[in-house]
Amino acid sequence: MSNTLILGIQLLNAMYGNGATSVLLEIVFLQSIAWYNLLFFLFELDTNESSHDDANRSFRCRPEEG
């Protein structure tokens, strides 16, 4: 659960009244639908690339026979 949801609703209610709560709920919804999925995808991509690089590095670093 994001910090925006935990503290943001109470803070915006105190500062701007009930009208700001609907805007914050839209922001939380967009975060959960778009932003988190994009971050998870980028983290997975980074993990796959780094594990692929490690496999290639170990393959190249074998001592030559002879």
Extents of the domains making up the chain: 3-60
Q: What is the mean pLDDT of residues 22-36?
A: 83
| Of the listed ranges 27-31, 43-47, 55-59, the one predicted with least confidence | 55-59
Cβ(16)–Cβ(32) under 8 Å? no
What per-residue confidence (pLDDT) applies to 54? Answer: 61
Tell if the pTM clears 0.75, that is, is over it. no
Identify the DSSP state of 34.
Answer: I
Q: CA-CA distance, 10 to 18, in Å (whole number)?
A: 10
Identify the DSSP state of 17.
Answer: -
Token readout for 41 is 């995808």
